[in-house]
Chains A and B, each alone.
Chain A
Amino acid sequence: SYVLTQPPSVSVAPGQTARITCGGNNIGSKSVHWYQQKPGQAPVLVVYDDSDRPSGIPERFSGSNSGNTATLTISRVEAGDEADYYCQVWDSSSDPGVFGGGTKLTVL
Chain B
Amino acid sequence: EAGVAQSPRYKIIEKRQSVAFWCNPISGHATLYWYQQILGQGPKLLIQFQNNGVVDDSQLPKDRFSAERLKGVDSTLKIQPAKLEDSAVYLCASSRIWGQDNTEAFFGQGTRLTVV
Asked if chains A and B come from one complex, the reply is: no
Task: Enumerate chain B interface residues (CB-CB to A < 8 A).
Answer: none
Task: Enumerate chain A interface residues (CB-CB to B < 8 A).
Answer: none
